[in-house]
Structure 1
């Protein structure tokens, strides 16, 4: 895979593939830096810390940090080649098929680096998100399956997180019905790719598995919270089948999406719903009492991410990036 300089520079700035003492940029730091530069980060390639201070007015320790990150190119090249050989691509905002709706909807919370395997062109399509409790009831499980079939009928990818319960039920149902899936994972992408069913779906061009974390990363609650918003941003609408009330990943992800307008949220109101579903409706989720309603919602494009998206960086935020606070 041939990469442009901006993509290579982005990977150098944010990747955690190399074990070294230089702290990679967080997403918010990367977007602030991009806003300050006014162009892609390739202009930083080959610059020493002294050059960065002189040309870009970077201050002391921050100039040393950026210089150290940009000097990792050779070590990262070996890691990227290893991933490519295992079927894992690295996508940045400067690469084709990086999900453009993520920065549009999430602003500086969008990950500047994504690891993906499979039919990455599916990331260009707004899908139907289906999420919910791991311990969903049998009736709720049926709702998840029917929702997945709705995505197949509308010829859009089913988007979910791949976790036990609603996620897996919906993704399996979509694949069994001849549809396509986008799995936005929180734990090891490498381990997921060892699953025979996943490999078969990828081979057929009907699945892409992706994660904003290193491919060998293990599960953590913090990563799960960071991942949840990506499902909402990737979807034309995200359907919550069953949620706990005031707790749990499903509730947190849905309320975060509603509060920050990361994407449209619908919630099941019928047999099999969770104790938190009514609360999500009160907070603004669209109630769904029959699955056919999802098809109408998928056709409704009233949500305009360009209206609601947060700014990548205000002038004040841009200024703080280069001060001692971030050194």
Structure 2
């Protein structure tokens, strides 16, 4: 994969692949810097702290920090090549298949760096999200499976987190039904790629597994919370099959998505629902009591252009870049 200078500069600014002491930029810092520059970050390559201070009015520690981050470009290029050889691509907003729905819906909370393996073109398609508790009931599990079949019939990707329970049940059902999946992971991408079922789906061109965290990073609650918003942003509609009430990852992710309008949230109201499902409906989630209701929601998403916020992304020859609306 040929790496553009803007993409390499973005990776230098935010990546944690290099074991050094310089602190990479957080997502919000990266987007604010991009807006401030008014152009791709390749203009920072090869510049020392004094040059940065003179050319871009960076001051003090920030100029030294940016200079040190830019100085990692060569070392990072070797790490990126290593990942490529293992089947993992590194996507930035300056790469073709970076999911543009994320910055459109998440703003400064969108990750500027994504590790992905598989058919990355699937990241450009709004899918059906299916999420829920790890300890889902047998009836709730059936709901997850039927929802996944709905995505396969509509020829759109099933979007989920790959965790035990609802996530894994839905993803497996979508693949078994001949559909495609987008797995947005909070656990190790490298480990996920050792799963024979996943490898077969990737080989068939029906899956992409991705994570905004280093490919070898293990699961933690913080990563899971950061991952949840990406599922809602990626999907046209996300169905919460079963949620705990007032706590837990599913509840927190759904309530955040509703409050921040990351994406359309539906909630299952029928046999197999969780104790928190009624509360999610009261907070604004669309109730669904039969799988056919998902078709109506998905048809509405396709027909109504107002369901998504106006794009905040300006397309460039190399990909996308936040425009001045984010200043």
Same fold, TM-score > 0.5, yes or no: yes
State the alpha-carbon separation in 2 of the partners of residues 102 and 161 from structure 1: 16
Q: Does 1:15 align with 2:15?
A: yes
Aligned counterpart, 2:44: 44
Q: Does the Cα contact within 8 Å between 2:104 and 2:310 map onto a contact in 1?
A: no
Provide the rounded CA distance (Å) in 2 between the counterparts of 1:22 and 1:81. 22
Give, in whole Å, the separation in 1 of the partners of 2:251 and 2:206. 29
Q: Are positions 1:306 and 2:309 aligned together?
A: yes
Shift, 1:304, TM fit: 3.3
SS of the residue corresponding to residue 239 of structure 2 reads strand
Aligned-residue CA RMSD (Å): 1.6
CA distance in structure 1 between the partners assigned to 2:312 and 2:223 by the alignment: 22
Q: Confirm or deny: 8 A CA contact 1:149 1:173 kept in the other structure.
A: yes
User: What TM-score, normalized to structure 1?
Assistant: 0.94
Contact 2:185 2:227 in 1 (8 A): yes
Look up the SS of the partner of 1:23 in the other structure: coil
Aligned partner of 1:324 in structure 2 is none
Equivalent position of 2:197 in the other structure = 197
Contact 2:267–2:288 (8 Å) recurs in 1: yes
- Residue equivalent to 2:117: 117
Secondary structure of the structure 2 residue equivalent to 1:300: helix
The aligned counterpart of 1:103 is 103
- Structure 1 stretches lacking a partner, 5+ long: 319-327
How many angstroms apart in 2 are the aligned matches of 1:33 and 1:77? 22
Partner of 2:209: 209
Q: SS at the partner of 1:133? A: coil
Q: Offset of 1:165 from its aligned partner?
A: 0.2
Equivalent pairs, count: 316
TM superposition shift of 1:307:
4.1
Q: Is the 8 A contact 2:22 2:69 kept in 1?
A: yes
Counterpart of 2:260?
260
**1:111 CA displacement:** 0.1
Following the alignment from structure 1 to structure 2, what is the Cα–Cα distance between the partners of residues 46 and 69? 10
Structure 2 residue aligned with 1:79: 79
Q: Which residue of 2 aligns with 1:322?
A: none
1:1-327 alignment runs, 5 A limit: 1-301=1-301, 302=304, 303-307=306-310
CA 1:51–1:313 in 2, change beyond 3 Å: closer, same or farther? same
Q: Given that residues 108 and 313 in structure 1 are in contact (C-alpha distance below 8 angstroms), is that contact kept between their aligned partners in structure 2?
A: no
CA shift, 1:251, in A, is 0.3
TM-score normalised according to structure 2 size:
0.94
Distance 1:304 1:62 in 2: 39
Deviations 1:78-132 (A, max 9, x none): 1001000000000000001100010000000000000000000000000000000
Q: Is the contact made by 2:312 and 2:323 (CA closer than 8 Å) also made in structure 1?
A: no
- Measured after TM superposition, the shift of residue 306 of structure 1 is 2.5
Give the SS at the match of 1:287: strand
Deviations along 1:152-202, one digit per CA (max 9) or x if unpaired, are 111100000000000000000000000000000001000000011100000
Name stretches of at least 5 consecutive residues in structure 2 with no aligned partner: 314-321
Counterpart Cα distance in 1 of 2:154 and 2:323: 36
Q: Give the Cα–Cα distance (whole angstroms) in 2 for the partners of residues 296 and 61 of structure 1.
A: 53
